[in-house]
Amino acid sequence: MRISDVKTFLVHDPDRPDRNYAFVKVYTDEGLTGLGESGINGKELALKGLIDTYAPILRGMDPARIEHIWQTLWRGQFFRGGHVHSAAVAAIDIALWDLRGKALGVPVYDLLGGRTRDYARCYCHVQPPDGHGLDGQATIEAMVRRAREHTDAGWRFVRYTAGDGYYPGHDGLYEQAPALRWTVDAFAALRDALGPDVEICVDFHQRTTPAYAIQLAAELAPMRPFFIEDPVRAENPAQFAYLRQHISVPIATGEQIASKWDFRELIEGDLMDYCRVDLCICGGLTEARKVAGWCETHYIEQAPHNPLGPVSTAACLHFDLSTPLFAVQELTWRPSVLADVVRTDMRLEGGNLYSGGSPGLGVELDEEAAAAHPFQLPGLRVLHREDNSVSDW
């Protein structure tokens, strides 16, 4: 069997005007195909250009040589890439694992060593999708209602983002001090409504400086967050060593990290408690497995980043099922998301995600349906301070 072609399908989400999905399909001369997804939201055109560059290199290669192809794409050129490069490799890699599972007639989790659990427990986002017109208290009340709806349906983990919704009528404005106060009030309301048994995660979204991250973590600590996520930007892992001296609650990070080499300092320094590897950015299943194995030696559990579509979700599920140290899976996908474009065997029961056990990842792309949702160039969502300087997104 040989690779005959590689194509990118950029699909706009009709329910989310700012969201496109980037699916990559690998074709073979025997008719089998594999499907992957990229996680580089907002840079899909750059991704497609790189996939088009790699397609002639991949044609004629043996798709079973997954590690060899990964090394070829990663190391086979002089200039090293960044996030767009690693996301392109990730999409191709995920597609190759899907293809290999189909060729052998087994689910991908069997190729990864078999299931270590029966399902992946997941957390949902509870901020209202239309909450930007609400004032701070109304946003909190809407979050509590959404959280109760989910926990009543069986979800045991919820998540919200620090500072979203505290400035009524000023979408895009972000000041750390009032954001801190709103975030603490929101957590208190959620904890009071949901009780002690529901886990609450808070995503700082890299918006806080170290000083504010420390203050906010200290305020939240008595209410027991499951973890705080991305308290500072990812460019400087050494900063997490400073935070460790001052923050007592568990720290999750890693969603913007593109390779195992970039994870090195965080893992070897024991600077995170939960690894937020993004399979669709960090080199696919091949690279994520290596990161997870390294984390295992430091007792760091996996909590994969996944704000994406059905193929990313399927890849995460097979990773979660086969990974020994797994905590919880981020899940924004629902069975209704692009159901006409990607068919999947996954099922969601309460907050638990199950695989149907189909060969490969259990996903298939309808190319005609994908063409019915053409790519739409998104704008930039820029957060700013009151003085109009740029704030971290």
Catalytic residue set: 159, 166, 203, 205, 229, 255, 276, 330, 393
How far lies 183's CA from each of 244, 321, 369, 393, in Å? Answer: 21, 33, 41, 16
CA–CA distance, 114 with 112 (Å, rounded to integer): 6
| Contact call for residues 208 and 183 (beta carbons, < 8 A) | no
Instruction: Give CA 392 to chain center in angstroms.
Output: 18
H-helix segments, 297-388: 310-322, 367-371
Interior/surface letters 245-272, b for 16+ CB within 10 angstroms, e for the rest: eebebbbbbbbbbbbbebbeebbeeebb
CA–CA distance, 61 with 6 (Å, rounded to integer): 11
Task: Report the relative pairing of strands 390-391 and 383-384 from DSSP bridges.
Answer: antiparallel
Q: Which two tokens stand for residue 216?
A: 């906010």
CA–CA distance, 21 with 42 (Å, rounded to integer): 10
